[in-house]
Amino acid sequence: MLRIIIVILLINILSNIGYAQEPMKKVPKQKSFELGMRYITSSTFDEKPNFGTTLLFDYAWQLSGFTETKKAAYISVPLGYTYLMNENDTASKNTRILSYGWTVRHELAKNKKIIPFLGYGLLLNQLKIDGVDGGVMGHQTRFDFGIDFITESKIRYFAKIEYSYTRYPRLGDKKSNTISAAEIKLGIRF
């Protein structure tokens, strides 16, 4: 049995000696910074500001689109921060949200100056409300549509609109708190 294994290994090694191996290539990566405004379309929280700013950094790996005809798709790891501002009434408080997770983006065109894209993501959120001890973790599902503006350099500019739905569990209660939000963002990719 040992002789058979040794013979198979020798045949495998000798059969690969004469072939030139293609050098390993790195997967293309893309980093993004985006800044935008968030509007809360609905919320079950009592202290609910309706408007705020959001900032996000995104690190993406290209999954497809390596040929001349196939459109690119990316998977990314975003890290975002949202600050929702008090609306100067007694019912709203400043709210901070830290979000991170996975997103996927599909480009809808190739080799053009303007490239539309669709994206979706699953993120975790840490929500903290001023004046309330502790915070709560939630699950966010988001969808976006946007346009990349291709330049002569490696930098791309983009604009997008985004819808998200986030569920925050409440201990001892079957019903969760939820937030639905719409965002408009501008950014750069490099």
At residue 103, the pLDDT reads 98
Residue 150 tokens read as 């291709």
**pLDDT band per the 50, 70, 90 thresholds, residue 96:** very high
Q: In whole angstroms, what is the distance from residue 129 CA to residue 110 CA?
A: 43
With a cut of 70, say whether residue 120 has pLDDT above it: yes
Q: In whole angstroms, what is the distance from residue 7 CA to residue 5 CA?
A: 5
CB 47 within 8 A of CB 129: yes
**pLDDT band per the 50, 70, 90 thresholds, residue 3:** confident
Q: Spell out the domains of the chain, with CATH numbers in brackets.
A: 29-189 (2.40.160.20)
Half-sphere exposure of 105 (CA within 13 A, CB side): 27
CB 114 within 8 A of CB 146: no
- Residue range 31-74, pLDDT digits in tens: 999 999 999 999 998 777 889 999 999 999 999 999 889 999 99
Fill in the amino acid letter for 86: N
**Residue 24 or residue 51, greater confidence:** 51
- Residue range 137-154, pLDDT digits in tens: 999 999 999 999 999 999
Q: In whole angstroms, what is the distance from residue 190 CA to residue 154 CA?
A: 6
Taking all residues of the chain, what is their mean pLDDT, rounded to a whole number? 90
